[in-house]
Amino acid sequence: MSTTLQPPRNRAGQVHPGPPRKPRSTAQPKPANPQRRLRLAGGFALIILVVFVIKLIDVQALTAPTYAGAATASREVTSVIPATRGTITDANGVALALTVQARNVTADQTLIKDPRATAQLLAPLLGKSVGNIQARLTGNRRFIYVTKSITPKTWDAVKALRLAGIFSEATSTRVYPAGQVGANLVGFVGASGSGLGGLELSLQNTLGGTSGKQTFEVGAGGRQIPSGTDNLTPAVDGSDVRLTIDRDIQWVAQQAIAAKVAETGAESGTVVVMDPRTGNILAIATAPTFNPNKASASKPGNRGNRAVTDIYEPGSTSKIMTAAAVIEEGALKADSKITVPPTLSRGGSVFHDHDKHGTLHLTFAGVLAKSSNLGTIEASEKIGSSTLYGYLKKFGIAEPTGLNFPGESRGLLPDLNQWSGTSFPTIAFGQGLSLNSLQATSVFATIANGGVRVQPRLVAGTVGNDGKFVAAPASPSVKVVSPQTARTVSDMLESVVSDEGTAPMARIPGYRVAGKTGTANRVDPTCGCYRGYTASFIGFAPADNPQLVVSVTLQAPKRGHYGGRLGGPVFKRVMSFALQELRIPPTGTPAPKLRLTW
């Protein structure tokens, strides 16, 4: 049973309204405590102050150097101060390569407000188009080259414009006052000023020096702030180099070989002039050549020094090594009799002389004077292949010359255990081995110097920043044959320029001349086969007191190929001039009269 509660009712049955409600209060609320608000506001202010103080300490004490450094760095400009490259001179102090001061114009693009207007001011002074300069001034790069290697006078005109964002750096330009004279020897430099060829390359550490630098601050207008940072590290200039070369002899040698190359249609030619007593090289001439002031405009093949880079089979000029070895070993004398047949069979091959002949009766001196291959083979067999090989090495064949010249080739001489049945006879008369023109010259210099080989050299000494000349060490030397053997071979070589020899055109009136012709089959590198000839003549004078050796070599001549006829006249011209230039008088003694036949 459920019961539902009902509201109370009075006696009349009406619902009772309940107890009376209290009237709503009309009083105002109490105000908040003002001390509490002040405390809250003070707390917030204190927090803000603490944060501010911490940040202030961080900025002023901790990161201030960083911000200051960054600000300074943004205003700093670093300029390289290049070292002045040393001068290269000949033996008499005549400049062959020197450095001329210049300026590179640079720009900070961020400081240039109107690139076109700036370009219009610069164009007439720099000799460039407005568009070209404007393109280099436009952008956000802090450093860019506008132009390079202008004269100091031109920079003064640019500087006078006081253009914002335009700067310069010291630089230099390498010039070669003698032009082509000695170009293949001296070499050339690249755009950076470093050596790229010849002595400019091999002597880079001596000539180049060490660059310095300067760092300074610039203001909003791009101009240096006088009181700002200015740090300077001075450059250390390179040393001057004095060569053993004589410019005048070099010029004559170049003229003579260039004329002969043109006359004969030869592929190339070289002339080397050396003092046999000291190893000093007085000239190394190459044709064709190039102008080092415009090196990039020349053919790469014409920039090298063929006298040390190109090797060839020498032919008959090599016979003096065979002759010296045979005489030194006591196997033959100058007047020893040799019967030379029309041909010889060796190692399965038939050998013959350049010109066909019947049986000849020659002395050993006659074999050399007539340049007989067969007579040389017979003479070499008196000492054997092993002994001959040893002498060839002592003469410097297939050994470095000691110049350390870029691209130098040491030549080729097969190891003795690699010789075939025909190697011994062919090497005896100058085929089957290879050398460069300087090595060939050194062989004759050894005989001229009494049998002592002196290492060739090009550098006489250097001059440092203190202005003092420091002579290069004397060249090392080695005895190859005795003075008596050298004297005998020299006498035999004088017969070569006699009327009975192969090079009477090499004679010089008043002087005794000793020399040897060479007419060798030439290896054509394009096919690896024998094609064409190498024509050469090498000699020294005065023969009885040798002071100069001159070698002449022509590669692949098309009009003529005999060494005496092509090389002899060039030798005569160069040697005659050098003797006069150096004031070397004739000795006045008569030449020996050796029997050539029997």
Asked if residue 298 and residue 394 are part of one domain, the reply reads: yes
Question: Could you list the active site residues?
Answer: 316
Q: Is residue 46 part of a domain?
A: no
Return the SS3 of 517.
strand
Number of domains in the chain: 2
Judge whether 456 and 477 are in contact, CB under 8 Å: no
Residue 79, classified by CB atoms within 10 Å of its CB into exposed (0-12), middle (13-18) or buried (19+), is middle
Query: Per the domain annotation, does 266 fall within a domain?
Result: yes
Q: Are residues 210 and 254 in the same domain?
A: no
Q: DSSP state, 165?
A: T
CA distances from 365 to 77, 379, 493 (A): 76, 11, 8
393 falls within a domain: yes
Let me know whether 428 and 559 are in one domain. Answer: yes
Same domain, 189 and 320: no
Q: Helix (H, G, I), strand (E, B), or coil: what is residue 29?
A: coil
Tell me the pLDDT of the chain (598 aa) as tens digits.
Answer: 444 445 555 544 554 555 555 555 555 555 556 677 777 777 777 788 877 777 777 666 666 666 555 555 556 777 778 788 999 999 999 999 999 988 999 999 999 999 999 999 999 999 999 999 999 999 999 999 999 889 999 999 999 999 999 999 888 789 999 999 999 999 999 988 899 999 999 999 999 999 888 887 776 555 666 666 668 888 899 999 999 999 999 999 999 999 999 999 999 999 999 999 999 999 999 999 999 999 999 999 999 999 999 999 999 999 999 999 999 999 999 999 999 999 999 999 999 998 999 999 999 999 999 999 999 999 999 999 999 999 999 999 999 999 999 999 999 999 999 999 999 999 999 999 999 999 999 999 999 999 999 999 999 999 999 999 999 999 999 999 999 999 999 999 999 999 989 999 999 999 999 999 999 999 888 888 899 999 999 999 999 999 999 999 999 999 999 999 999 999 999 999 999 999 999 999 999 999 999 9
Q: Please give the distance of CA 572 from its chain centroid, rounded to a whole number.
A: 32
Both 165 and 196 in one domain: the answer is yes
Number of Cβ within a 10 Å radius of residue 472: 14
Q: What is the pLDDT of residue 3?
A: 46
* C-beta of residue 536 within 8 angstroms of C-beta of residue 522: no
Structural domain containing residue 172: 77-111+143-214+229-243
> Domain check: are 442 and 531 in the same one?
yes
**Is residue 203 one of the residues assigned to a domain?**
yes
Tell me the C-alpha distance between 507 and 517, whole Å.
Answer: 13
DSSP label at 393? H
- Residue 468 domain-assigned (yes or no): no
d(CA 245, CA 281): 6
Q: 191: domain CATH number?
A: 3.90.1310.10
Of 371, 361, 408, 414, nearest to 389 by C-alpha is 414
User: What local confidence, expressed as pLDDT, does residue 60 receive?
Assistant: 66
**Which residue, 399, 403, 400, is CA-closest to 390?**
399
Residues 171, 275: one domain? Answer: no
- Count CA atoms closer than 13 A to 597's CA, side-chain side: 6
Phi/psi at 465 (nearest 5 deg)? -65, -15
Tokens describing residue 523 = 């290896």
Give the pLDDT score at 1: 45
Q: What is the per-residue pLDDT for 24?
A: 56
CA dist 492 → 332, 335, 364, 572 (Å)? 13, 10, 8, 19
Q: Are strands 76-81 and 212-217 parallel, antiparallel or unpaired?
A: antiparallel
- At residue 139, the pLDDT reads 96
**Type and span of the H or E element at 174:** strand 166-175
Question: How far is Cα 163 from Cα 177, in angstroms, rounded to an integer?
Answer: 35
Q: DSSP code of 551?
A: E
**Would you say residue 51 lies in a domain?**
no
Do residue 396 and residue 317 come from a single domain?
A: yes
Residues 450 and 495 in one domain: yes
Which domain CATH number covers 480? 3.40.710.10
Q: How far apart are CA 445 and CA 455, in angstroms?
A: 10
Residues 341 and 489 in one domain: yes
201 shares its domain with 340: no
Assess contact for 340 and 410: CB atoms under 8 A. no
Cβ contacts of residue 256 below 8 Å, gap of 6+? 271, 285, 570, 573, 574
pTM of the model: 0.81
Buried residues in 474-483 as b, exposed as e (16+ CB within 10 A) = eeeeeebbee
Query: Do 173 and 292 have their domain in common?
Result: no
Cα–Cα distance measured from residue 411 to residue 362, given in angstroms and rounded to the nearest whole number: 32
**pLDDT attached to residue 301:** 93
Residue 595 resides in a domain: no
Give domain status of residue 350, yes or no: yes
Between CA 134 and CA 116 the distance in angstroms is 5
Separation of CA 287 from chain center: 18
